[in-house]
Amino acid sequence: MAKKNRLVGFASRALLSMEMPTLFFRNILTADSWIKHSQWIPSGLAELSVALAAKGCGLKRHRVKARLNGSLKADSALVDAFFERETVKGVNLFNAIAYSVCAETERLPHELQRERDADALSITRWATYALTASEEIERSINRLSPQAVLSCQGFLVESAILRDKARKLGIPSVNWEISIERSKMRVDINDGNAVFFPKMLKNAAAGAAIDNLNLQKHSHHTSGIEAFQWPSGRFRILFLAQVYSDASIIFKSSGSMNPVSLVRSVMTASKSMNGFLVIKAHPKEISGSSPIGKPLSSLTLRKLMDHGFPWSSQGGEDFFYDTSSNLDTARLIESADIVVAFNSQGALEAAMAGKETIIAADSYFSELDVFWRIRAVEDLGPILAQIASGCRKGNHNTARAAVRDHLERQCIGADASSVAKFLLDVAKGQGG
The closest alpha carbon to 360, from 339, 378, 343, belongs to 343
CA distance 287 to 351: 28
Query: Is 319 a residue whose pLDDT tops 70?
Result: yes
Provide the pLDDT confidence category of residue 213 given band limits of 50, 70 and 90: very low
CA distance 193 to 225: 34
Query: Is 353 a residue whose pLDDT tops 50?
Result: yes
Please tell me whether the peptide bond between 109 and the residue prior to it is cis, using omega within 30 degrees of 0.
no
**Which string of DSSP letters, residue by residue, matches 221-245?**
G----B---PPTTSEEEEEE---TT
pLDDT of residue 215: 62
* Mean per-residue pLDDT, 306-326: 95
Query: Is 368 a residue whose pLDDT tops 60?
Result: yes
More confident residue, 10 or 107: 107
Maximum distance among all alpha carbons in the chain? 71
Whole-number average pLDDT of the chain: 87
CA distance 53 to 59: 8
Query: Is 4 a residue whose pLDDT tops 70?
Result: no
* Mean per-residue pLDDT, 274-283: 96
Helix H or strand E encompassing 417: helix 416-427
Highest mean pLDDT among 36-45, 191-200, 332-341, 395-404: 332-341
Reduce the DSSP state of residue 54 to 3 states and report it.
Answer: helix
Q: What are phi and psi of 187, to 5 degrees?
A: -130, 155
Condensed to tens digits (0 to 9), the pLDDT of residues 153-182 reads 668 899 899 999 999 999 999 988 888 888
More confident residue, 431 or 146: 146
pLDDT of residue 198: 63
CB-based contacts of 13, cutoff 8 Å, min separation 6: 46
* Mean per-residue pLDDT, 377-393: 95
CA distance 155 to 49: 23
* Mean per-residue pLDDT, 219-226: 67
Query: Is 268 a residue whose pLDDT tops 60?
Result: yes
Provide the pLDDT confidence category of residue 22 given band limits of 50, 70 and 90: very low
CA distance 279 to 267: 10
**Which DSSP symbol is given to 404?**
H
Reduce the DSSP state of residue 11 to 3 states and report it.
Answer: helix
Q: 382 with 156: CB under 8 angstroms?
A: no
